[in-house]
Structure 1
Amino acid sequence: MPITDADGLRRVLGHDRVAVVGASTSYEKAAHIVPAYLGRHGYDLTPVNPTADEIFGERAYDSLADVPGPVDTVEVFRPSEEVPGIVEQTLARDDVQAVWMQPGITHDAAARDAEAAGLDVVQDRCMKVEHGQLIRNPMD
């Protein structure tokens, strides 16, 4: 089951190396606003976008397979139908601990595959919102 409880969300938010699949160069899009916020709050971001050279002042990579160095969490800003391929690329790495799908993005079968491999999974939730509520201004 994907994580929905505050303690589980805090655990995932505690990982600081985030690969942002579908990161955007467009300042007005959530795929730029959300990770930019995370970067301002200490997260180490690696953008994954085959159409960009640089995002958030960081080199952008074509795929998760191209990302050098460790990744703790894969944050997904791509359509739900692309999630199985993203999870497949995630599982090919040995360093990822969680997959976080932003609002409107879900794929139960891919989530089960990731969970079966031992990864934490969050679906249909915003990392920025959850960070603001649970980490930055904890209310629970």
Structure 2
Amino acid sequence: MECEFATVNSDNEEIKEIFENTKTIAIIGCSPNEEKASNRVANYLKNAGFKIVPVYPKEDEILGEKVYRSLKEIPFKIDMVDIFRKPDVIGLVIDSAIERGDIDTVWTQLGLVNNEAAKKAVEAGMKVVQNKCTKIEHNALY
């Protein structure tokens, strides 16, 4: 699969607004391994005051938080979905976010782009950030 250039994306003003309106972030692919970017980013976001919700196929707890197997299983409102999964899985995650109907923002990490899925998210009323790191962007703004 070729790398896509993100044609659907939020600008810095919108990214600032996203952070200001976000309290709860589901981290899709949050690894228990402290060496992995998903774990480091989740830890940073937690320390920055966000409630993080790890979504991972194994483990019961990551960074002291209960782990869920999927977005569908999370029984409370999620403001942002932060995706650390390959581009071919992003579409499934976004479909799941659309099904929930309570998610404001879908964010794909550095190197991750799926414009087709991003367009669907925008059409469903969500903000979309692609190919950017939540930690880097938050750190630059605050």
What TM-score, normalized to structure 1?
0.93
Instruction: Give the structure 2 partner of residue 42 of structure 1.
Output: 49
Instruction: Give the structure 1 partner of residue 106 of structure 2.
Output: 99
Matched, 1:76 2:89: no
Q: CA RMSD in A?
A: 0.7
Give deviations 1:94-118, integer Å, cap 9, x for gaps: 2100000000111000000000001
Matched, 1:32 2:39: yes
Gaps of 5+ in 2: 1-7
Distance 1:128 1:41 in 2: 9
Distance 1:75 1:111 in 2: 13
Which SS does the other structure have where 2:107 is aligned?
Answer: strand
Matched, 1:126 2:133: yes
Which runs of structure 1 show a deviation greater than 2 angstroms over 4 or more consecutive aligned residues?
none
Distance 1:98 1:88 in 2: 13
Aligned length: 134
Matched, 1:55 2:62: yes
1:12 to 18, 25, 29: 18
Distance 1:47 1:68 in 2: 13
Deviation at 1:13, TM superposition (A): 1.5
Gaps of 5+ in 1: none
Instruction: Give the structure 1 partner of residue 4 of structure 2.
Output: none
